[in-house]
Amino acid sequence: MKIRPEQLQRTLSSTDPAIYWLAGDEPLLMQESADLIRQHYRHRDFLEREVFNVDKNFDWNQFINATGNLSLFCKLKIIELRLGSARLDDAGKKALHNYVQDPNADLLILILSPKLDAAAIKTKWFTQIEQAGVLLQIWPVPRDKLAGWLSQRLLREDIHADHDAIQLLADKIEGNLLAAVQEIEKLKLLANAAPGTSIKLDVKTVMQVVADSSRYSVYHLVDTALLGDSLRSQKMLSGLRNEGLFPLVVLGAITRELRALLPMLEKKAQGQQLNAIIQSARVWFNRKQAVSKALERMTVTMIWQLLDHARRIDQSIKGLSRANPWDELSLILLALSGSKTATMTKTSAATTRLDLGHL
């Protein structure tokens, strides 16, 4: 059974599955969901807990032995598998598959993993696991919902913030919900308000107290550029640079997206509808808006120009030119987001026949 995070409390009260599988890359929401499950089962006297950190060298006989041998003093137990990768080896698949065929009512299996891709979820093996348990996929809070999420968190702590303060706070902690919770705790301590007293939060206080803890990924960076938000994409690029990310990682994400857009734009040039193109390309639901906006404003020729620019950035990263890779990445992101740059004005028919073997 697949559920959303907001359905977890109700699911805990109404069902008793053999396995809970939590998948996602948002540490705070993963931690809170796992804590909710642990707390619920502790109240049901699952007082013993055994944790296995699963990597490529993990011996699945440990799991088999743990599920087969119960403690004489505490028979109700949570067995927690913390997966380093969302993909299991054959031994892991077999061990879990055998367990769900004959689960033990005195055990709860709690699996924590990175996010699962669509291909993994659709496999026959995983479908059998899902039928025996609960799958909870946890996604990062999208930017357009972050202000609402922060508002609820603040109200939970009796902090009443005006609209501008929440927007500024969202900018400072975007992509880092752990930092958001820490900043809220810091605001409570600094306010030193009496118990039961509401705290007022304004823009001035946020500017003085809250540190800029925003964190981004290259995938969010690319999607932001596709959406046409050039200012935010530049801020994100600067943040990734300050984190010490190697520029080739950013370039790789950009070139992969350009290659994916190229056949879609070719279909658009042939007269196909955008919705049909996106569906046939199997674009993830949460990326459809970004890809749609890019397809609306871009052409095949523009993609070839950007790929040519990417080739030159690759050369600069490898020391084959004197250009600054980060400056060039800034320019290609501006072009990708729809802003006019000097690079994009240099059109050439030859760009439609570039050899992409170097990318």
> Both 191 and 242 in a single domain?
no
The confidence score (pLDDT) of residue 347 equals 40
Q: What is the mean pLDDT of each successive set of 10 residues along the chain, which is 359 residues long? A: 90 91 92 95 92 93 84 76 90 92 91 88 87 90 88 89 89 84 84 72 83 76 93 90 90 94 94 90 84 94 94 92 93 91 45 39
The confidence score (pLDDT) of residue 209 equals 78
The confidence score (pLDDT) of residue 349 equals 37
> Both 232 and 326 in a single domain?
yes
* Number of domains observed in the structure of the chain: 3
Residue ending a domain, among 112, 138, 164, is: 138
The confidence score (pLDDT) of residue 22 equals 96
> Both 188 and 81 in a single domain?
no
Q: What is the CATH number of the domain that holds 230?
A: 1.20.272.10
Listing DSSP states for 247-312 in one string gives HHHHHHHHHHHHHHHHHHHHHHHTT--HHHHHHHTT--GGGHHHHHHHHHH--HHHHHHHHHHHHH
> Both 167 and 265 in a single domain?
no
Q: What is the CATH number of the domain that holds 202?
A: 1.10.8.60
> Both 227 and 163 in a single domain?
no
Q: Which two tokens stand for residue 217?
A: 């990924």
Domain that holds residue 316: 218-358
> Both 165 and 277 in a single domain?
no
> Both 249 and 338 in a single domain?
yes
Residue ending a domain, among 165, 185, 209, is: 209
The confidence score (pLDDT) of residue 359 equals 43
Residue ending a domain, among 164, 181, 209, is: 209
The confidence score (pLDDT) of residue 356 equals 40
> Both 69 and 200 in a single domain?
no
CA distance 148 to 144: 8
> Both 348 and 232 in a single domain?
yes
Q: Is 3 helix (H, G, I), strand (E, B) or coil?
A: strand
> Both 246 and 323 in a single domain?
yes
The confidence score (pLDDT) of residue 72 equals 53
> Both 181 and 84 in a single domain?
no
> Both 10 and 129 in a single domain?
yes
**Torsion angle, alpha carbons of 8, 11, 17, 22, to 10:** -10
Other Cβ atoms less than 10 A from the Cβ of 149: the count is: 16
Q: What is the CATH number of the domain that holds 26?
A: 3.40.50.300
